[in-house]
Amino acid sequence: MPDITINGRDGDFSAYLSLPATGSGPGLLVIQEIFGVNQSMRRMCDDFAAQGLVALCPDIFWRQEPGIQITDKTDEEWQKAFQLFQGFDTDKGVEDLKDALAALRGLDACSGKAGSVGYCLGGKLAFLMATRSDADCNVGYYGVGLDELLGEAGNISHPTLLHVAEEDEYCPKETQEKLAEAFAGSDLVTLYSYPDMPHAFARVDGIHYHAEEASLANGRTYAFLKQKLA
């Protein structure tokens, strides 16, 4: 599918749209990593579409530089990614995502319910979609800086799934313990930990990709989305 345009409150930005074979289904907002709406994110959208979901991945770096599509393969690309990350306005980014969620729900292909899933920076933003939006469910993969957001945890009102990599250099053990403690016994938040896994273990073709654990995490995500977006 070609990219589409989202008419946001502060301006227009692009998003990659992937439709299921049936042409319609529940919506899923797929939130990018720090490398933009690149081939990895587009492939993830296609994988979600293969699960019967209408997957939409918006460009959240559009305010800085529209159309970013880089990889994790070179030092130059990493420097560019961190520059974009450091310049990213989280609050405005969440507003953009809420606009994208509304646009997703408004598509003829979307059957009604819509959730979010995010990776890395997107994992943090998926958590914030759980606390600040009306998304029907949310999934975060190895979100960064979640310990700083736990003050918002009481705002979560829809089912949320968090995948935590135990050897994530961007999520230290102390943070993992805080997350486990915060959501122990929660009826809304499910947390899965992955021993020996580094950050971004589910990034297809990424330098830390681990096929077996990625398959486990993705299987849990697919089952969760199928149940919550039915």
Question: Catalytic site residues?
Answer: 168, 199
The string of DSSP letters for 63-110 reads TT-TT-B--SSSHHHHHHHHHHHHT--HHHHHHHHHHHHHHHHHSTTE
In this structure, which amino acid lies at residue 7?
Answer: N
Helices (H), 107-141: 121-132
Torsion sign (Cα): 9, 13, 228, 203: negative
Q: Are 213 and 221 in contact (CB under 8 A)?
A: no
Beta strands in the chain (DSSP E): 3-8, 11-18, 25-31, 54-58, 110-119, 138-141, 160-165, 189-194
Q: Evaluate whether 131 touches 155 at the Cβ level (below 8 Å).
A: yes
Give the whole-angstrom CA distance, residue 170 versus residue 167: 9
